[in-house]
Amino acid sequence: MQKSLYLTSNGRLKRHENTLYFEIGDEKRAIDIENVEQIHIFGEVDLNTKALNYISQYGIILHFYNYYGFYTGSFLPRKKNVSGDVVVRQALHYLDREKRLFLAYCFVESAVYHMMRNLRERKEAEAFLIAIEDEWEKGRFNISNIAELMGLEGRIRNIYYQSFNQFLPDDFAMEKREKRPPTNPINALISFGNSLIYSHTLSQIYQTQLDPSISFLHEPSEKRFSLSLDISEIFKPLIVDTVIFKLLNNRQLELEHFDEDLNYCYLNQEGKKIFLKEFQNKLETTVRHRQLNRNVSYKGFIRLECYKLIKHFIGDQIYSPLRAWW
Amino acid sequence: MEDIQEFSEIKFQGIKINYLYICKRKLWLFSKNITFESTSDKVLLGKVLHEYSYPKENTKEVLIDNLIMIDILSDGSIREVKYSSKMKEADIMQVMYYLYYLKQKGIQKQGIINYPKEKRKEVLKLTPEYEEKVKQALKEIEEITTKSIPPPAQKQKICKSCAYFEFCWG
């Protein structure tokens, strides 16, 4: 499998002849460029166009994050697999109200399914699971536009996040979900994880013919590559949240792994390393796929969602979002 | 004359003839630029084979009319290098198409398919029967690639080694 590389140290990415190095002070580490798909940069890293040109020859994507671990942006090499046909048809699905709502609904449905899946085995959260089911069954047949769908999703997500207090350690209690800025550790973790899943999804979209700026649940006018936000909805509960639960319940992450500034909370370097390691393990974990009869990694499942969307757009097969069956 | 006119209307890359005989769905997807070759190890193997076979030939990868790519061109023949002979019919038709194409331009050659890994080769001459078959194939490609939706996926033995496997069946 093509690897993701996470650079948490400060240093310099450098091309010397036909090798890419990451230099930390006097230490020089060679990067196996043939087997790298994407590089995530968390530290203070210098690089020049010589390195960028070399990196882009291999189609490697660079994702940048700021000091606090928030996504800054990506360097995407020139796209090789462009299909005007797919893009035009993708846009047609956005322009048609019904078609757009169908896809938006699919993303939310899968996200809710995975949220419920996360709570199903936890006795402490049973009341919250029932509340989510009620809300979903009551709301899902009365949706006539995106705003209503977003509203329903927001209400469900609120209940879902509140349930965390039932089964996470007490020192990681959360009153409510806060994004900008996250003011407590659990919000910081969710934000960090969501940044990661966003950039990983973008990497997968980028390998296909989909246009990352034409989205359905989110508005394409949002500042980001909003198709990545759409597809991320499916994988946030499936990947990010399960990683958080594991790290906190196994006491691998403690309060000492967080720094606080005024009303700002974020993972420190050690905390980031722990999170990234577990996150990457999760992405590489494989599940036997029933139709393919092959092992597919969690990362692979993100790619398969992209494939299913292409098939939907070209009129081959109606999109049916992932519902983790394992 | 009629022949040439018809020919100038339907021209395709050689690989499309090959795909016509391997999988019509793959042909359709490829024609829309929906390709996954860059993620396939098999494709990489093929590329490496092309690069390292026949290092002494200096007329390698000759592009004609910005359309068809001849692996190796020499005085009397054109040569196509293939990884394995599993898809022999498709390979033969691809070379027959090249021979037919060159004939329209007034060039007569014979075709050779090299299977360097198997140390085998196939020598081909364009016969009237094959010429007819090529013309039929071109029409068929035209029909398939102008359809608005792809032919449905059909499970074949070769699916599992195809770069499109996860796309079609996932």
Q: Give per-residue pLDDT as tens, B75-124.
A: 889 999 988 888 899 999 999 999 999 998 899 999 999 998 899 999 99
B165–A209: do the CB atoms touch at under 8 Å?
A: no
Split at pLDDT 50, 70, 90, the class of A83 is very high
**For residue A31, is it left (φ>0), alpha (ψ between -120 and 50) or beta?**
beta
Number of domains in chain B: 1
| pLDDT grade for B53, boundaries at 50, 70 and 90 | confident
- Residue A148 placed within a domain: yes
Instruction: Identify which of A3-7, A165-169, A179-183, A301-305 has the greatest average pLDDT.
Output: A301-305
Domain that holds residue A124: 86-314
Instruction: Please check whether residues A12 and A151 belong to one and the same domain.
Output: no
CA distance B169 to A289: 10
* pLDDT at B5 exceeding the cut of 70: no
Tell me if chain A has a CB within 8 Å of the CB of B38.
Answer: yes
What pLDDT, on the 0 to 100 scale, is given for residue A181? 75
B47 touching chain A per CB within 8 A: no
Tell me which of A236-240, A267-271, B3-7, B111-115 is least confident. Answer: B3-7
Decide which of A44, A75, A106 is a domain's last residue: A75
Are A283 and A236 members of one domain? yes
Asked if residue A322 is part of any domain, the answer here is no
| Alpha carbon A111 to its chain's center | 12
The CA distances from residue B19 to B123, B125, B137, in Å, are: 21, 21, 11
Read off the pLDDT of residues A276-295 as tens digits, 9 standing for 90 and up. Answer: 999 999 999 999 999 999 99
- A62 with A94, same domain? no
Number of neighbouring beta carbons within 10 Å of residue A5: 18
Shared-domain flag, residues A153 and A57: no
List chain A residues with CB under 8 Å of B150.
314-316
Contacts of A207 in chain B (CB under 8 A): 38-39
Residue B155 has pLDDT above 80, yes or no: yes
pLDDT at B152: 96
| Nearest CB partner across the interface for A291, out of B34, B150, B169 | B169
Q: Residues of A near B (CB-CB distance < 8 A)?
A: 59, 80-86, 207, 209, 289, 291-292, 294, 296, 300, 303-304, 307-308, 310-311, 314-316
Do A95 and A9 lie in one domain? The reply is no
pLDDT for residue B3: 54
Q: Is residue A172 part of a domain?
A: yes
**CA of B4 vs chain A CAs: smallest distance (Å):** 30
Report chain A's mean pLDDT, rounded to a whole number. 93
The two three-digit tokens of residue A176, written as one number: 């409510």
Q: Are residues A47 and A94 in the same domain?
A: no
Q: Of the candidates A83, A289, A304, which has its C-beta nearest B33's C-beta?
A: A83
The last residue of one of the domains, among A55, A75, A95, is A75
Nearest to A307 among B32, B152, B167 (CB): B167
Residue located via tokens 């090529």 = B134
The residues near A309 (Cβ < 8 Å, ≥ 6 apart) are A90, A103, A210, A231, A319
The domain tally of chain A equals: 2
- Smallest CA–CA distance, residue A291 to chain B, in Å, is 6
Residues A100 and A61 in one domain: no
- Given this model, what pLDDT does residue B61 score? 82
Query: How close is the nearest chain A Cα to the Cα of B26, in Å?
Result: 13
Q: What is the pLDDT of residues A245-257, one digit of tens each?
A: 999 999 999 899 9
CATH number of the structural domain spanning residue A126: 1.20.120.920
Q: Are residues A174 and A102 in the same domain?
A: yes
Question: Which of B34, B39, B170 lies nearest to residue A207, judging by beta carbons?
Answer: B39
How far is Cα A2 from Cα B42, in angstroms, rounded to an integer?
Answer: 15
Question: Could you tell me what percent of chain A has a pLDDT over 70?
Answer: 98
Chain B residue whose CA is closest to A1? B39
A93 belongs to an annotated ligand binding site = no
Q: In this structure, are residues A310 and A279 in contact, taking their beta carbons and an 8 Å threshold? A: no
CA distance A156 to A145: 17
> Cα–Cα distance between B146 and B138 in angstroms, integer?
12
Answer yes or no: do B167 and A83 touch at CB < 8 A.
no
Q: Which domain holds residue B59?
A: 1-169
Q: How far is CA A225 from CA A87, A181, A197, B122, in A?
A: 14, 21, 13, 51
Closest Cα of chain A to B41: distance in Å?
11
**Is there a domain that residue A81 lies in?**
no
- Answer yes or no: is A324 within a domain: no
Give the CATH number for residue A39.
Answer: 3.100.10.20
Structural domain contains residue A224: yes
The interaxial angle of helices B88-104 and B2-9, nearest 10 deg, is 120
Inter-residue contact B159 to A281 (CB < 8 Å): no
Does B38 sit within 8 Å of A59, measured CB to CB? Answer: yes
The confidence band for B1, taking pLDDT boundaries of 50, 70 and 90, is very low
* Interchain contact, A314 vs B165, CB within 8 Å: no
Q: A109 and A26, same structural domain? A: no
* The pLDDT of residue B133: 95
Residue A326 lies in a domain: no
| Pair (A69, A107) in one structural domain | no
Inter-chain CB proximity A59 and B39 less than 8 Å: no
Q: Mean pLDDT over residues A210-236, rounded? A: 91
Residues A154 and A278 in one domain: yes
The yes-or-no verdict on residue A325 having pLDDT over 90 is yes
Shortest Cα distance from A179 to chain B (angstroms)? 34
User: In A, which residues are within 8 Å of B36 by CB distance?
Assistant: 81
Q: Average pLDDT, stretch A65-94?
A: 92
d(C-alpha A60, C-alpha A52), whole Å? 9
Strand B77-81 relative to strand B110-115, pairing? parallel
Q: State the smallest CA–CA distance between residue A59 and chain B in angstroms.
A: 10
User: For A95-141, how does the pLDDT look when each residue is reduced to its tens digit (9 = 90+)?
Assistant: 999 999 999 999 999 999 999 999 998 999 999 999 999 999 999 99
Question: Best interface-test mutation with A: which of B23, B26, B33 has the largest number of A CBs within 10 A?
Answer: B33
Assigned domain for A253 exists? yes
Is A34 assigned to a binding site? no
Domain boundary among A53, A75, A97: A75
Count of A–B CB contacts within 8 Å? 52
Q: For residues A135-149, give the mean pLDDT.
A: 94
What is the value of pTM for the model shown? 0.91
Q: Looking at the predicted structure, is the pLDDT value of residue A87 above 90? A: yes
> Half-sphere exposure (CA, 13 Å, Cβ side) for B69?
9
Helices (runs of H) and strands (runs of E) counted in chain A: 10, 12
How many angstroms separate the Cα of B103 from the Cα of each of A299, B100, B106?
Answer: 49, 5, 5
What is the distance between the alpha carbons of residues B37 and A230, in angstroms, rounded to a whole number? 26
- Is the pLDDT at B145 greater than 90? The verdict is yes
Q: Indicate the SS3 state at residue A163.
A: helix
CA-to-CA distance for A38 and A3, rounded, in angstroms? 7
Whether residues A230 and A107 share a domain: the answer is: yes
- Contact, B87 vs B66, CB < 8 A? no
Judged by CB atoms closer than 8 Å, whether chains meet at A303 and B166 is answered as yes
Question: Which chain B residues have a beta carbon less than 8 Å from that of A294?
Answer: 166
Return the DSSP state at A78. Answer: P
Q: Do residues A195 and A72 lie in contact, with contact meaning Cβ atoms separated by under 8 Å?
A: no
